[in-house]
Amino acid sequence: MTRIASHRGGTLEFGDSTPQGFTATAAMALEEVEFDVHPTVDGAIIVHHDPTLEGTTDSRGAIADLTLAEVKSATINYGAGGHPLTLEELCDLYAPSTVDFRCEIKPGVNGRPYQGFVPKVVDELCRHAMLERTGFSSFMLESLDELASAAPGRPRLWLVGPSVLRQVGARGVVELCQAHDIPEIGVHIEMADEQLAATIRDAGIDFGCWAAHSRPQIEKALSLAVKVFTTDRPTLALAIRDAFRRKEATR
């Protein structure tokens, strides 16, 4: 069964990385909640997409230069007055949920991984008994390498961007996965097709997609039988998957 990951708590339905989006996702009959993490200057871990606040809140600045209190004072656009959550708060929210974590390790404003951040994220998840329910993802091979040593045995998914895929091709992606011991990749839904899926799967690597937000994109992900796809519209994705399953069952 293709798994659904509610991207940033379902951005197109609830706003980007909002408390109500994460709360709603926790009660949904889907498998994963996708979120991104950044450190504050005083050691907290914030669940937010951008490394800065200005894109999606009423505040400004790089999260890594701000204190927890400063980040908490930001109000998220289209978030019904909500403020950014800490990873600790997200763990508490999902402790009673059947939805598991898909934690993306993001770079800072300079596009580079935060120094020493990955072990802190792993420790925080471990402290709240969520590490065993967490799969990780990243566009950065360096962060995936760090995860392999900080959280041995936990799922790691390489997000292969369109420009990387165009540059190295499917064979190049397979070679990089083998060199970095990466068991699973995700590509942008518009880059996915049967041939790419077959090449990746034939190499023993799991194949998934991201950014399946429209009905045709969600139906494409289901038709390709990807392992998992992320979507900004989890409610729509669930309805389409239910209909897809009913159709498959009557075949």
Where do contacts with Fe ion occur on this chain (CB under 5 A)? Answer: 36, 104
Query: Rounded to whole angstroms, what are the CA distances from 36 to 46, 71, 144, 170?
Result: 8, 15, 14, 26
Q: Which is nearer to Fe ion, 36 or 146 (by Cβ)?
A: 36
Smallest gap, in angstroms, from Cβ of residue 167 to Fe ion?
A: 21
Closest CA to 165 of 174, 178, 154, 155: 174
Smallest gap, in angstroms, from Cβ of residue 34 to Fe ion?
A: 6
Taking the C-alpha atoms of 230, 158, 53 and 122 in order, what is their torsion angle to the nearest 10 degrees?
A: 100
Phi-psi region of 185 (alpha: psi -120 to 50; beta: other; left: phi over 0): beta
From CA 75, how far away is CA 47, in angstroms rounded?
13
Q: Which is nearer to Fe ion, 32 or 104 (by Cβ)?
A: 104
Q: Which is nearer to Fe ion, 8 or 133 (by Cβ)?
A: 8
Closest CA to 103 of 160, 142, 143, 52: 143
Q: For the chain, how many residues are written?
A: 251
From CA 130, how far away is CA 136, in angstroms rounded?
12
Smallest gap, in angstroms, from Cβ of residue 11 to Fe ion?
A: 10
Q: Which is nearer to Fe ion, 174 or 212 (by Cβ)?
A: 212
Concatenated DSSP letters of 201-225 = HHTT-EEEEE---SHHHHHHHHHTT
Q: Which is nearer to Fe ion, 136 or 207 (by Cβ)?
A: 136
User: Tokens 């949920």 — which residue?
Assistant: 97
Smallest gap, in angstroms, from Cβ of residue 249 to Fe ion?
A: 33
Smallest gap, in angstroms, from Cβ of residue 198 to Fe ion?
A: 26
Smallest gap, in angstroms, from Cβ of residue 251 to Fe ion?
A: 34
Closest CA to 17 of 62, 49, 45: 49
- Give the residue nearest to Fe ion (CB): 104
Smallest gap, in angstroms, from Cβ of residue 49 to Fe ion?
A: 6
Closest CA to 146 of 117, 178, 125, 107: 117
Q: Which is nearer to Fe ion, 5 or 174 (by Cβ)?
A: 5
Q: Which is nearer to Fe ion, 104 or 124 (by Cβ)?
A: 104
How many Å separate Cα 42 from the centre of its chain?
Answer: 24
